[in-house]
Amino acid sequence: MTGPMTNKDKPKKLPRHLAIIMDGNGRWAKRRFMPRIMGHRQGAKAVKEIVTAVRELNIPYLTLYAFSKENWSRPREEVEALMNLLYDYLQREVDELLGNKIRLRAIGELHRLPPKVRRLLFETMEKTAANYEMQLILALSYGSRSEIVEAARKIAQKCVSGELDPAQVDEELFASFLYTADIPDPDLIIRTSGEQRLSNFLLYQAAYSEFYMTETLWPDFDRNELMKALHDFSGRERRFGKTSEQILLRCTGNES
C-alpha cells in the first residue's frame, strides 16, 4: 500500500467523472490455473483500492461497469458468484462509504438483480443518499442500447399523451430520460485487459469522452495504474470540435 497522495503526484487536470470498464478477471485467474471466480474476488479488492484513491483525489463521480446486461448469459454458477460478491461488497463497504461521505448509486435494469442483492443495494443507496463528497455509481445489469431505447419509448409515450411536444425533444431533454440524468458525461473511460471496445457501456454519454486502454488485467489495476491513466488524461487536449488555437486562447482568457 502506498502512502497518501502528495501534490507532486497529482495530475494538473483531473476528470470530473471517471468511468471504468473493469475487464480481465477471468484471464487473471486462468493464468494462475484458478477458477474464474477467484479472479472476480481479486477484482473486488481492486475496486476497494480504486474507490479509495479516487476519493482521495477528490474526483466527484466514479462509475464502475460491474455487470452488463449481456453478462446474464454467462454460466449460472458464475452469475451467482458475481451476485454473491456484490452482496458481500455492499455489506462490507457500507461503513467505509459512510465514513468517506460517498454516495452509492446504481444504473441498469436493477429489477433483474436477485431480491436479496436488490434489497441490500437499495438499502445502501438510501443510507448513503445524503453524502455529497463523491458519487460511486455501479453499472449493474446495465446495457446502453436498452437505456436509450427505454428513454425513446418514455418520450414517445409523453408525446402521445400530450405531456410533451415533439418539438421540445432536444439533446438535453433526451439525456434527462437516461439513467444518468443528473450525472455529468464521463470525461475519461478506462478499460483494462487490452480489449478495445465499449461493450454496450454509456454509448450516448461517451460522445466526447477520452479513452484509456491498458493491457493490465483488472485485478492488477492498482493506484499506480490509475495515476498513469490520470496523467495521460491530464496531458490531452480536448477540443470538442474546435481548433487547437481556439482552445489555447480560451485558456488564456483571450477568446472574443
Nearest alpha carbon to residue 218 among 189, 191, 196, 187: 191
46-54, 97-105, 195-203, 238-246 -> range binding ligand IPE (CB under 6 A): 195-203
Q: Compute the least distance from the CB of residue 64 to ligand IPE, in Å.
A: 8
Find all residues with CB under 8 Å of 112, minimum gap 6, and list them.
72, 141
Alpha carbon of 105 to those of 32, 120, 130: distances in Å?
A: 33, 12, 12
Q: Compute the least distance from the CB of residue 199 to Mg ion, in Å.
A: 8
147-155, 179-187, 189-197, 208-216 -> range binding ligand IPE (CB under 6 A): 189-197
One of 18, 22, 23, 93 touching Mg ion (CB under 5 A): 23
Binding mask 49-78 for ligand IPE (x = CB under 6 A): ----------------xxxx--x-------
Judge residue 104's burial from the number of C-beta atoms within 10 Å of its C-beta, 0-12 exposed, 13-18 middle, 19 or more buried.
Answer: buried
Among ligand IPE, Mg ion, none, the one that 42 touches (CB under a kind-dependent 5 to 8 A) is none
Q: For 157, list phi and psi in degrees, rounded to 5.
A: -60, -45
Amino acid residing at 1: M
89, three cell numbers: 461488497
Instruction: Let me know if 71 is a catalytic residue.
Output: yes
User: How far apart, in whole angstroms, are the C-alpha atoms of residue 22 and residue 30?
Assistant: 16
Among ligand IPE, Mg ion, none, the one that 27 touches (CB under a kind-dependent 5 to 8 A) is ligand IPE
- Helix segments in the chain, DSSP class H: 25-31, 36-56, 76-99, 115-127, 144-160, 171-175, 223-234, 244-251
Nearer to ligand IPE, 79 or 164 (CB): 79
# residues near ligand IPE by CB under 6 A: 18
Amino acid residing at 222: D
Nearer to ligand IPE, 50 or 155 (CB): 50
135, three cell numbers: 458519487
Q: Is 26 in the site for ligand IPE (CB under 6 A)?
A: yes
Judge residue 28's burial from the number of C-beta atoms within 10 Å of its C-beta, 0-12 exposed, 13-18 middle, 19 or more buried.
Answer: buried
Instruction: Let me know if 100 is a catalytic residue.
Output: no
Q: Which of residues 203-222 bind ligand IPE (CB under 6 A)?
A: 218
Q: Is 21 in the site for ligand IPE (CB under 6 A)?
A: yes
Nearer to Mg ion, 23 or 225 (CB): 23
Of 9, 58, 71, 88, which one is the catalytic site residue?
Answer: 71
Nearer to ligand IPE, 163 or 195 (CB): 195
Binding site for ligand IPE (CB under 6 A): 21-27, 65-68, 71, 82, 193, 195, 197, 199, 218
Which residues are known catalytic residues? 23, 71
